[in-house]
Structure 1
Amino acid sequence: MGLIKYRENVDRNRQEYADVYDSMKWLRPEDAANAYRERESLIASISRFSGATWTCAGTKLFTHALSPGCLLCGQGAWSCLFVNGICNARCFYCPSSQDDSGPPVTNTLVFEKAADYADYVNRFNIQGVSFSGGEPFLSFDRVLAFLEAVKNRVDHPVYTWLYTNGILATPEKLFALRDGGLNEIRFDLSADRYRLDALERAVGVIPTVTVEIPAIPEDLSITKKIIADLASAGVGHLNLHQIRCTPYNYGKLAARGYTFLHGPKVTVLETELAALELIRYSRENSIELPINYCSHAYQHQFQAAGARRRCAGLIKAEYEDVTPTGHIRRLTIAGPEEAVANVAGTFASRDVAASLYSLSAKRDSLSFAAELWPLIDFSSIRLKLGYSQAVLRNGVSYRHSFKKIALDSGKTLVVERQTVQPGIWLEGEQIEALGRFIGNGRAELLNGQGAVELPDPLNGIRHLEAFIPGLSAYY
Structure 2
Amino acid sequence: MLGDPQRGLLTGRLARGCELCYAGLKAVIFITGVCDENCYYCPVDRDRFGRSVIYVNDERAHSLDDIVREAERQGATGASVTGGDPLADLPLTLSLIRGLKAAFGPEFHIHLYTPGRYATPDALVALWRAGLDEIRFHPVRGDYLKGVEYAVRLTRMRVGAEIPIAPGLEGWAKEVIRFVDSVGGHFVNMDEMEFAEPNREALRLRGLRPSDSRQAAVRGALRAAIEVLRWAEGNVKVPVHFCPVSYKDLVQVRNRFRRTAMRDLRWYELPLPDGTVARGEVISEGGEVLGYFRPGGAVELREGERARVVVSYPTQSREPVVCEAESEDPGEALRECVT
Please classify the TM superposition score into its range, dividing by the shorter chain length.
Answer: 0.7 to 0.9
Q: Which residue is equivalent to 2:205?
A: 255
How far apart are the structure 1 equivalents of 2:227 and 2:276?
A: 35
2:259 counterpart letter in structure 1: R
Distance 1:390 1:199, change over 3 A: same
Deviation at 1:167, TM superposition (A): 0.9
**Distance 1:356-1:94 versus aligned 2 partners, 3 A rule:** closer
Q: 1:3-152 maps to which residues of 2 (within 5 A)?
A: 52-54=1-3, 58-96=6-44, 97=46, 99-152=49-102
- Opposite residue 162 of structure 2, the aligned amino acid is E
Partner of 1:391: 314
Q: 1:276 aligns with which of 226, 230, 250?
A: 226
Cα distance in 2 for residues equivalent to 1:208 and 1:254: 36
Identity %: 24
Kindly provide the CA deviation profile for residues 292-348 of structure 1, in whole angstroms up to 9, marking residues without a partner as x.
11101111222321342233222354894542x2134699xxxxxxxxxxxxxxxxx
Q: Secondary structure at the match of 1:81?
A: strand
User: In the alignment, which residue of structure 2 is the partner of 1:292?
Assistant: 241
Residue 192 in 1 paired to residue 141 in 2?
Answer: yes
Secondary structure of 2:84's aligned partner? coil
Matched, 1:360 2:310: no
Provide Cα deviations, 1:110-166, integer angstroms capped at 9, x if missing partner: 222123312332343211211111111111111011111100012683100110011
Q: In the TM superposition, what are the counterparts of 1:224-263 in structure 2 within 5 Å?
A: 224-261=174-211
Cα 1:194–1:239 change in 2 (3 A) is farther
Number of aligned residue pairs: give it.
312
TM-score for both structures, normalised by structure 2: 0.79
Question: Structure 1 residues 64 and 423, CA, compared in 2 at 3 Å: closer, same or farther?
Answer: farther
Which amino acid in 1 is paired with 2:255? G
Greater helix content? 1
Following the alignment from structure 1 to structure 2, what is the Cα–Cα distance between the partners of residues 240 and 292?
6
CA distance in 2, matches of 1:178, 1:58: 34
Contact 1:316 1:328 in 2 (8 A): no
1:90 and 1:321 mapped to 2: Cα distance?
Answer: 40
For the Cα contact (< 8 Å) 2:163–2:173, is it kept in 1?
no
Deviation at 1:73, TM superposition (A): 0.8
**Pairing 1:151-162 to 2, within 5 Å after superposition:** 151-154=101-104, 157-162=107-112
AA aligned opposite 1:80: V
Unpaired runs of at least 5, structure 2: 281-293, 302-308, 330-334
Q: Which structure has the larger Rg?
A: 1
5 Å matches for 1:406-445?
414-415=317-318, 418=321, 420=323, 422=325
Query: CA contact under 8 A between 1:185 and 1:206: conserved in structure 2?
Result: no
Give the unaligned 5+ runs of structure 1.
1-51, 332-354, 363-385, 394-413, 426-456, 463-475
In structure 2, give the amino acid aligned to 1:295: P
- C-alpha distance in 2 between matches for 1:303 and 1:209: 22
State the match for 2:260 in structure 1: 311
Shift of 1:418: 4.0
RMSD: 3.4
SS in 1 for 2:314: strand
Q: Given that residues 389 and 419 in structure 1 are in contact (C-alpha distance below 8 angstroms), is that contact kept between their aligned partners in structure 2? A: yes
User: What is the rounded CA distance, in whole Å, between the counterparts of 1:143 and 1:184 in structure 2?
Assistant: 14
Residues 387 and 123 of structure 1: CA distance in aligned 2, closer, same or farther (over 3 Å): closer
Look up the SS of the partner of 1:299 in the other structure: helix
Distance, in Å, in 1 between the alignment partners of 2:222 and 2:147 is 27
Distance 1:255 1:103, change over 3 A: closer
- Contact 2:279–2:310 (CA under 8 A) maintained in structure 1: yes
Match of 2:216 in 1: 266
1:218-267 superposed Cα distances (whole Å, 9 cap, x missing partner): 23223324423322311111100111223432332223211222579633
The Cα of 1:109 is off from its aligned counterpart by: 1.5
Aligned match of 2:169: 219
Query: Is residue 182 from structure 1 mapped to residue 135 from structure 2 by the alignment?
Result: no
Question: Relative to structure 1, is the Cα distance of residues 267 and 116 closer, same or farther in structure 2, using a 3 angstrom cutoff?
Answer: same
> What is the one-letter code of the residue matched to 2:211?
L
C-alpha contact (below 8 Å) 1:215/1:271 kept by paired residues: yes
Shift of 1:461: 5.5
The range that moved more, 111-120 or 129-138, is 111-120
Q: 1:421 to 1:206 in 2, by over 3 A?
A: farther
Report what 2:291 is aligned to.
Answer: none
Counterpart in 2 of 1:170? 120
